[in-house]
Amino acid sequence: MKVLYFAWLRSRIGTGMEDVTPPPDVATVGALIEWLKSRSPAHAEAFGQPGLVRAAVNQDYAAPDHAIAASDEIAFFPPVTGGMG
């Protein structure tokens, strides 16, 4: 599974991308976040406030209960703010 990190998540974790193999019981975006938090103190800090992180699965926005598979690309990024101007 390819995991991508953008903006301040990339800075905190120290990489923009990693290939991970979570255990079989990690089957949703939310479960993946909880598992990633256990990988390092940097991951735990980056995902410490779940409300500040959004996710996309295969380039589509995804809620925490969205199912994931080993072949998916999961991206994590801060909420996008601003408007057209």
Give the pair of three-digit tokens for residue 23. Answer: 């255990």
Distance of alpha carbon 24 from alpha carbon 41, whole angstroms: 23
pLDDT on residue 51: 83
* 81 — pLDDT class (breaks 50, 70, 90): low
Domains of the chain as residue ranges with CATH: 2-77 (3.10.20.30)
pTM score of the predicted model: 0.91
The pLDDT tens digits for 6-32 are 999 999 999 999 999 999 999 999 999
Cβ(64)–Cβ(30) below 8 Å: yes
Distance of alpha carbon 75 from alpha carbon 72, whole angstroms: 10
The pLDDT tens digits for 37-73 are 999 999 999 999 878 899 999 999 999 999 999 999 9
Q: What's the mean pLDDT when you consider all of the chain? A: 93
